[in-house]
Amino acid sequence: MRALFKAAPGPGLEMVERPDPVAGPDEVVIRVLRTGICGTDLHIRRWDDWADSAIAAPLIPGHEFYGEVVEVGPLVHDIEIGDRVSGEGHIVCGTCRNCRAGRRQMCIRTIGLGLQRDGAFAEYLSLPATNVWVHHADVPPELGAIFDPLGNAVHTALMFPLVGEDVLVTGCGPIGLMAIAVARHAGARFITATDISAPRLEMARRMGANEIVDVSQAQVSDAQRKLGMREGFDVGFEMSGAATALPTMIDNMNHGGRIAMLGLPSTGFAIDWGKLVTHMLTIRGVYGREMFETWNAMGAMLQTSATLRDAIGRVVADVLPARDWERGFAAAESAGTGKIILDWTEL
């Protein structure tokens, strides 16, 4: 099969021939139709300090995908050849305390698809059947390819009740944009989105943000005044990882406010711990998706809301043939774009 491959630690990827995967007894083989390019994949291609510490090369990267099941292991149930699927990219041990208690997203021995195990930038992919999500509704391939990052957005957005709440979203990358649409769908009152990219802020407005703030030029408090808010934000989604984002969010939260933090900081930064205590704020770390409550939630929302489905679809900026993967990675690297999808039927 053709696959994007990192043969050894170091910068770069190359399109090469690799052996076809074979399904183990409890696995399936999937013909990959579409893949999304994630920020993680950009790190792997650049081979920065994070990639050097976390990635096991040689490796086929890629973890956002949509495809068709073509082989089923003998111990697999409820998945059939021909099913259209996506997959949970966190492969868990099944035996640690959290796994045995049904909290699989908190497994202490998680292996990442496309990180420590060959992933989806290939014509075929093997995956444990327990990680496969079968699309029971008619899901377009491009939308199916972003179920993984949509799951991050849904997990973050539904961490706290949203009906009637005022929400601050810091960071309008694709996951932040999807979180805005989910918050609007879930009944938030006012949503304010911040970034430093004008194109992404305009996308945030189209996704349902009432106010947008370029934090390089304006203050979040300006948005509160425009919206007529008499108190701070009730719920925050920190999606950027920027050093100034969480301190700014804390400064603009109502007493008792709740923050879901998905963005991974690249550097340390100071927090006003006194305000955290005296304002009785909650900060909750969010990673990946709940297995599989988040998948059920996003599948149900997309099945029942054409408005949300259309909004999430707008996050896809372009679909390119897999043979043009270098152009796709370059587009994904540029600030201000949405999701870039590779079509593996066009090699």
**pLDDT, position 266:** 79
Say which of 40, 156, 248, 294 is annotated catalytic.
Answer: 40
d(CA 310, CA 308): 5
Tokens of 196: 């430093």
Q: What is the DSSP string of 5-44?
A: EB-SSSS--EEEE-PPP---TTEEEEEEEEEE--HHHHHH
Task: Specify whether 133 is located in the same domain as 163.
Answer: no
Same domain, 55 and 110: yes
Do 333 and 279 share a structural domain? no
Q: Is the peptide bond before 292 cis (omega within 30 degrees of 0)?
A: yes
Give dist(CA 258, CA 158) in Å, integer.
12
d(CA 125, CA 104): 22
Q: Is 63 a catalytic residue?
A: no
* Residuewise pLDDT in 10s, the chain (347 residues): 999 999 999 999 999 999 999 999 999 999 999 999 999 999 999 999 889 999 989 999 999 999 999 999 999 999 999 999 999 999 999 999 999 999 999 999 999 999 999 999 999 999 999 999 999 878 999 999 999 999 999 999 999 999 999 999 999 999 999 999 999 999 999 999 999 999 999 999 999 999 999 999 999 999 999 999 999 999 999 999 999 999 999 999 999 999 999 998 878 899 999 999 999 999 999 999 999 999 999 999 999 999 999 999 999 999 999 999 999 999 999 867 889 999 999 99
Determine the length of the chain. Answer: 347
Last residue of a domain, one of 239, 269, 285: 285
Residue 27, beta-bridge partner list: 128
Residues 267 and 326 in one domain: no
Predicted model pTM: 0.94
23 and 117 within one domain: yes
Say whether 43 is catalytic.
yes
136 contacts: CB under 8 Å, gap ≥ 6: 299
pLDDT recorded at residue 232: 97
- Which residue range forms the structural domain that includes residue 28? 2-146+315-343
Residue 334: which CATH number? 3.90.180.10
**Claim to verify: residue 122 and residue 179 sit in the same structural domain:** no
Same domain, 6 and 125: yes
Beta bridge partners of 194: 170, 213
Q: In this predicted structure, what is the pLDDT of residue 100? A: 97
Helix (H, G, I), strand (E, B) or coil at 246: helix
- Kindly write down the DSSP assignment for every residue of 70-139, as one continuous string: EEE-TT--S--TT-EEEE--EE--S-SHHHHTT-GGG-TT-EEBTTTB--SSBSEEEEEGGGEEE--S--
Residue 300: which H helix or E strand, with range? Answer: helix 293-304
Question: Residue 267's pLDDT is what?
Answer: 84
Secondary structure letter of residue 59 according to DSSP: B
In a domain, 189, yes or no: yes
The reported pLDDT for the residue numbered 136 is 83
pLDDT at residue 103, rounded to an integer: 94
Nearest C-alpha neighbor of 251 from the set 259, 239, 260: 259
From the list 43, 130, 279, 282, the catalytic residue is 43
Claim to verify: residue 253 and residue 321 sit in the same structural domain? no
**Strands 64-72 vs 253-261: parallel, antiparallel or unpaired:** unpaired
- Identify whether 307 is part of a domain: no
What's the confidence (pLDDT) of residue 336?
A: 76
Pair 127, 230 in one domain? no
Orientation angle between helical segments 306-313 and 174-185, nearest 10 degrees = 170
User: How many domains does the structure of the chain reveal?
Assistant: 2
Q: What is the pLDDT of residue 137?
A: 77
